[in-house]
A and B are shown apart, each in its own frame.
Chain A
Amino acid sequence: MQQLETLTREARALANGGVVPGTAEAEVARQLQICNACRYCEGFCAVFPAMTRRLEFGQADIHYLANLCHNCGACLHACQYAPPHEFGVNVPQAMARVRLQTYADFAWPPALGRLYQRNGLTLSLAVAGALAFFLLLTLVLTDKLFRVPTEVNFYTLFPHQLLVALFAPVFLYAVLALALGVRRFWREVTPGTGAPGAAVGEAVHDALRLKYLDGGHGEGCNNADDGWTLWRRRFHHATFYGFLLCFAATSVATLYHYLAGWAAPYDLPSVPKLLGVVGGIALLVGTAGLFWLNLRRHPQHGDAAQKPMDRGFIALLFFTSLTGLALWLARGTAGMPATLAAHLGVVMALFLTLPYGKFAHGIFRSAALLKWAIEKRLPSKLKLGDE
């Protein structure tokens, strides 16, 4: 009977867009009710100004706010209600738990959202599988993993067409899966509003600059303690822009291949090589830095259960870059076939897990930033006396 009542209550809550008691969303709703009566943290980021536009927090509001939260930690250290206070307010942690759930719930196809539950395992299996695949493929195609290739051209090992046939569908699938996921998220949190150009511009700006890792005062966010650091932002920039440069290197190379008919490998000072080397080194430094910061992170920041996902993704990016740079150095040596197989394996694992790993945070957060940029331009519906 008890169970039936609980089920009925939950069903009613869901039907009303409310939150189900006992869930991660309910915990966020509880904490935001406290925050909304306090508001001291309004200057730190967008989450709190967005919160003050609401009196109640339904499912959609919470999904949106959780993804707007950058987990910078400022509000935790500033909170007069943080543990050991009996109110137990830890917004970054409560938000992180919901955030993971949104990645899983909005994943496409929905069944694969489960891959988030043990994401460290997902990533490990993807890497192991992709590595084995390419090592075997190398063996099949060339008999030996270690031999000096006759030409400094890796298309002699893996024909270009084969690589395109393997990577293009996986990459396009990743883009499609992420797009469908974020579309569903967007429809939930933003029922039928258009996006003015200025709002889009602001959201892009905020995402690309990581505005909300600046602490609101420009001096950075928290990592190990209540002191501020700009290093999280800097290492994230190195990671993100390094990744983009590597991606640009590949894109330019593709254009060279198809439009100009220039075949790889490209040497310095060619554009793909320059982009790749600079991007690769930035990615290496950025991910190493993020990993180091992650190890030193304050234990109450975020959700400790998500460390495997975070660190796994960081490691995957690190090894993408490391194997890429190693491949450059290994060219013309006996180590080249194995290095190439390793690089292709890691990149394949990265692509395969893009829609089911930490990468999703960038997509969902950008969507949340866009919603905030739209919302802040609308007049508030509340009239709280003193305003």
Chain B
Amino acid sequence: MIDVLVIGGGNAALCAALMAREAGASVLLLEAAPREWRGGNSGHTRNLRCMHAAPQDVLMDAYPEEEFWQDLLKVTGGQTNEHLARLVIRASSTCRDWMRQHGVRFQPPLSGTLSLSRTNAFFMGGGKALVNAYYRSAEKLGVQIRYESPVDRLDIQDGQFKAAYVGGERIEARTCVLAAGGFESNRGWLREAWGQNADGEWPADNFLIRGTRFNQGVLIRHMTEQGADMIGDPTQSHCVAIDARAPLYDGGIVTRIDCVSLGVVVNNQAQRFYDEGEDFWPKRYAIWGRLVAQQPGQMAYSIIDAKAVGRFMPPVFPGVKADSLPELAQKLGLEPAAFMQTLNSYNAACRVGSFDHTVLDDCHTEGVTPAKTHWARPLDTAPFYGYALKPGITFTYLGLKVNDQAAVHFKGQPSDNLFVAGEMMAGNVLGKGYTAGVGMSIGTAFGRIAGTQAAKAAMKAAKNLEKQRAAA
């Protein structure tokens, strides 16, 4: 019998498989996706948030535990577990040597990401390169890997894992690590979670999924039915405003639109609906998904003029370009009169001081609602550009409750041999909100813990079995 069965094929699953194998356990990893789509959302990531006391290879200055914790506390609004969060934070300071041993390489922060150079270690080549390195290392160490093997249910008896089912096939193992991602790719579930709005729309029908199509949440639902203790709000998800032309799945990082704070954003009624200049974009991009989701048709349009070109990360698709604002409205399918009324009143309300995109400057509006509190300059220089926006779901927060040994719980009792890591339990640490790279910190820390604990439990079970046999 296999010692450790790992269900999932992303960062957390691979960390668990590698740790368990290193501890001497036999390991089988089941990845739902075919080989070319392996790795789940990890393939779209690019860095890991790391605590460090002093400059370390690619990391500048220091990022102490307390500061990391305060950052996490702030973004989650307190919806976190301090004990588990600090466990993740401390683990993030020591995991990188182990990652390097398994072939992960780091690089200095990418251009356009200077704000992360102190806190985040970037993977050379991004998350897919990391996933490739882990798979190579796992194969070399003798981890068995099966692709296109989605698990649809588990055999659990009295809180003990017995076997997993891939279709009709029953796969037994001494212990099991669940690391199969969230449910964000399950459109039916998103529809149900978001429900219907006052206009009778099903907002989630217009959402795009930024990551893998394979995170269907089959095991999250199954574990709920099995009576596992759950955590997190199913209606919450990390949601970003992305280019409406993005593919339904796997659009990843390139579909973001980073020019919101340089112009105005209107909905499909050509009305502005939120302060575009409230704060620096890296601090605000994550609220715009929800803002757009609340607009009619779940659509919005980011409008800039020529002054903004070259001041934001280039978007993947060219913007709709026009030589005049009415022409732009027409090209975007907005009602030109309403659009011009919005733009004219915005332009007239701009109080331009000294524009500086690197500080919270004094360019603001007066007498227009909503106000734009920084970087407010009239849109008056042709050519004008418009980008249609839709909400893009990055991940969901609903998951399984764990302790510091990554054990799945049933009615408050930890399971002896069933563990969970990655997105399926990230909600313990990240009840809401997000800060760059923390998903990979959680996945790496808990993946490694789950792998270690699963190997330990498997060895213990094997030893007990031997004792029983010797006694008989």
**Chain A contact residues, CB within 8 Å of chain B:** 33-34, 36-44, 49, 52, 55, 74-75, 77-81, 83-87, 216-217, 219, 226-227, 381-387
Question: Chain B residue with minimal CB distance to A52?
Answer: B111
**Can you list 8 pairs linking A and B with CB atoms under 8 Å apart?**
A37-B253, A43-B124, A43-B125, A52-B112, A74-B129, A80-B128, A385-B312, A386-B112
Q: Pick the contact of B126 from A78, A226, A384, A387 — CB < 8 Å?
A: A78
Known: A37-B253, A39-B112, A385-B312; 10 extra A-B contacts, CB below 8 A, are: A33-B314, A38-B126, A38-B252, A38-B316, A40-B125, A43-B108, A52-B111, A227-B136, A383-B311, A386-B282
> In the complex, how many angstroms separate the beta carbon of A277 from the nearest chain B beta carbon?
40
**A309 to B381, alpha carbons, bound, how many Å?**
51
> In the complex, how many angstroms separate the beta carbon of B364 from the nearest chain A beta carbon?
18
A43-B124, A386-B282, A387-B111 are known contacts. Are A78 and B311 too (CB-CB below 8 A)?
no
Q: Pick the contact of A216 from B43, B124, B253, B255 — CB < 8 Å?
A: B124
Binary flags per residue of B120-144, CB closer than 8 Å to A gives 1, else 0: 0011111111001000100000000
**A261 to B225, alpha carbons, bound, how many Å?**
95
A40-B125, A43-B125, A387-B114 are known contacts. Are A80 and B313 too (CB-CB below 8 A)?
no
Q: Pick the contact of A217 from B115, B124, B318, B357 — CB < 8 Å?
A: B124
Q: Pick the contact of A80 from B105, B136, B252, B256 — CB < 8 Å?
A: B252
Question: Chain B residue with minimal CB distance to A79?
Answer: B128
Choose among B124, B309, B311 the residue with the greatest number of A CB atoms under 10 Å from its CB: B124
Q: Which of B401-434 contact A (CB under 8 A)?
A: none
Q: Which residues of B contact A49 (CB under 8 A)?
A: 111
**A219 to B125, alpha carbons, bound, how many Å?**
14
Evaluate contact between B310 and A80: CB separation under 8 angstroms. no
Q: Which residues of A contact B252 (CB under 8 A)?
A: 38, 80-81
**A33 to B318, alpha carbons, bound, how many Å?**
9
Evaluate contact between A84 and B254: CB separation under 8 angstroms. no
Evaluate contact between A80 and B127: CB separation under 8 angstroms. yes
Evaluate contact between A38 and B253: CB separation under 8 angstroms. yes
Question: Chain B residue with minimal CB distance to A381?
Answer: B310
A80-B250, A216-B124, A217-B105 are known contacts. Are A384 and B310 too (CB-CB below 8 A)?
yes
Does any Cβ of A come within 8 Å of B169's Cβ? Answer: no
Evaluate contact between A78 and B128: CB separation under 8 angstroms. yes
Evaluate contact between B314 and A36: CB separation under 8 angstroms. yes
A39-B111, A84-B37, A227-B136 are known contacts. Are A383 and B357 too (CB-CB below 8 A)?
yes
**Chain B contact residues, CB within 8 Å of chain A:** 36-37, 43-44, 46, 105, 107-108, 110-115, 122-129, 132, 136, 247, 250, 252-256, 258, 281-282, 309-318, 357-358
Q: Pick the contact of B254 from A34, A41, A55, A78 — CB < 8 Å?
A: A34
Choose among A38, A381, A382 the residue with the greatest number of B CB atoms under 10 Å from its CB: A38
A34-B254, A86-B247, A216-B107 are known contacts. Are A78 and B314 too (CB-CB below 8 A)?
no
> In the complex, how many angstroms separate the beta carbon of A14 from the nearest chain B beta carbon?
19
Q: Which residues of B contact A74 (CB under 8 A)?
A: 125, 129
Evaluate contact between B108 and A40: CB separation under 8 angstroms. no
> In the complex, how many angstroms separate the beta carbon of B307 from the nearest chain A beta carbon?
11
A34-B254, A78-B125, A386-B115 are known contacts. Are A42 and B316 too (CB-CB below 8 A)?
no
Evaluate contact between A44 and B125: CB separation under 8 angstroms. yes
> In the complex, how many angstroms separate the beta carbon of B147 from the nearest chain A beta carbon?
14
Q: Which residues of A contact B44 (CB under 8 A)?
A: 80
Q: Pick the contact of A37 from B281, B309, B310, B314 — CB < 8 Å?
A: B314
Q: Which residues of B contact A84 (CB under 8 A)?
A: 36-37
A40-B126, A42-B107, A44-B124 are known contacts. Are A81 and B254 too (CB-CB below 8 A)?
yes
**A84 to B107, alpha carbons, bound, how many Å?**
27
A37-B316, A79-B128, A381-B310 are known contacts. Are A387 and B112 too (CB-CB below 8 A)?
yes
**A176 to B333, alpha carbons, bound, how many Å?**
58
**A86 to B255, alpha carbons, bound, how many Å?**
13
**A386 to B109, alpha carbons, bound, how many Å?**
12
**A216 to B106, alpha carbons, bound, how many Å?**
10
**A79 to B254, alpha carbons, bound, how many Å?**
12
Question: Chain A residue with minimal CB distance to B105?
Answer: A217
Q: Pick the contact of A85 from B122, B250, B253, B281 — CB < 8 Å?
A: B250
Question: Chain B residue with minimal CB distance to A85?
Answer: B250
Question: Chain A residue with minimal CB distance to B252?
Answer: A80
Q: Which residues of A contact B36 (CB under 8 A)?
A: 83-84
Question: Chain A residue with minimal CB distance to B114?
Answer: A387
Question: Chain A residue with minimal CB distance to B125?
Answer: A78
Evaluate contact between B126 and A41: CB separation under 8 angstroms. yes
Evaluate contact between A80 and B282: CB separation under 8 angstroms. no
A80-B43, A385-B281, A386-B113 are known contacts. Are A55 and B314 too (CB-CB below 8 A)?
yes
Evaluate contact between B125 and A75: CB separation under 8 angstroms. yes
Q: Which residues of A contact B316 (CB under 8 A)?
A: 33-34, 37-38
Q: Which residues of A contact B108 (CB under 8 A)?
A: 43
Q: Which residues of A contact B112 (CB under 8 A)?
A: 39, 52, 384-387
Q: Which residues of B contact A38 (CB under 8 A)?
A: 126, 252-254, 316
Q: Which residues of A contact B250 (CB under 8 A)?
A: 80, 85
Evaluate contact between A78 and B129: CB separation under 8 angstroms. yes
Choose among A42, A44, A75, A77 the residue with the greatest number of B CB atoms under 10 Å from its CB: A42
A33-B318, A37-B315 are known contacts. Are A55 and B309 too (CB-CB below 8 A)?
yes
Q: Which residues of A contact B255 (CB under 8 A)?
A: 37
**A384 to B126, alpha carbons, bound, how many Å?**
21
Evaluate contact between B136 and A42: CB separation under 8 angstroms. no
Q: Which residues of B contact A386 (CB under 8 A)?
A: 112-115, 281-282, 313
Question: Chain B residue with minimal CB distance to A33?
Answer: B316
Choose among A219, A381, A386 the residue with the greatest number of B CB atoms under 10 Å from its CB: A386
Question: Chain A residue with minimal CB distance to B46?
Answer: A40
**A115 to B364, alpha carbons, bound, how many Å?**
63
Question: Chain A residue with minimal CB distance to B34?
Answer: A84
> In the complex, how many angstroms separate the beta carbon of B224 from the nearest chain A beta carbon?
31
Q: Which residues of B contact A37 (CB under 8 A)?
A: 253-256, 313-316
Choose among A43, A226, A227 the residue with the greatest number of B CB atoms under 10 Å from its CB: A43
Q: Which residues of A contact B129 (CB under 8 A)?
A: 40, 74, 77-78
Question: Chain B residue with minimal CB distance to A32?
Answer: B314
Choose among B105, B313, B318 the residue with the greatest number of A CB atoms under 10 Å from its CB: B313
Q: Which residues of B contact A52 (CB under 8 A)?
A: 111-112
**A217 to B57, alpha carbons, bound, how many Å?**
13
> In the complex, how many angstroms separate the beta carbon of A43 from the nearest chain B beta carbon?
3
- Which 5 A-B residue pairs are closest in the complex by CB-CB distance? A40-B126, A78-B125, A43-B107, A37-B254, A78-B129
Q: Which residues of A contact B136 (CB under 8 A)?
A: 226-227
**A287 to B254, alpha carbons, bound, how many Å?**
40
**A216 to B124, alpha carbons, bound, how many Å?**
8
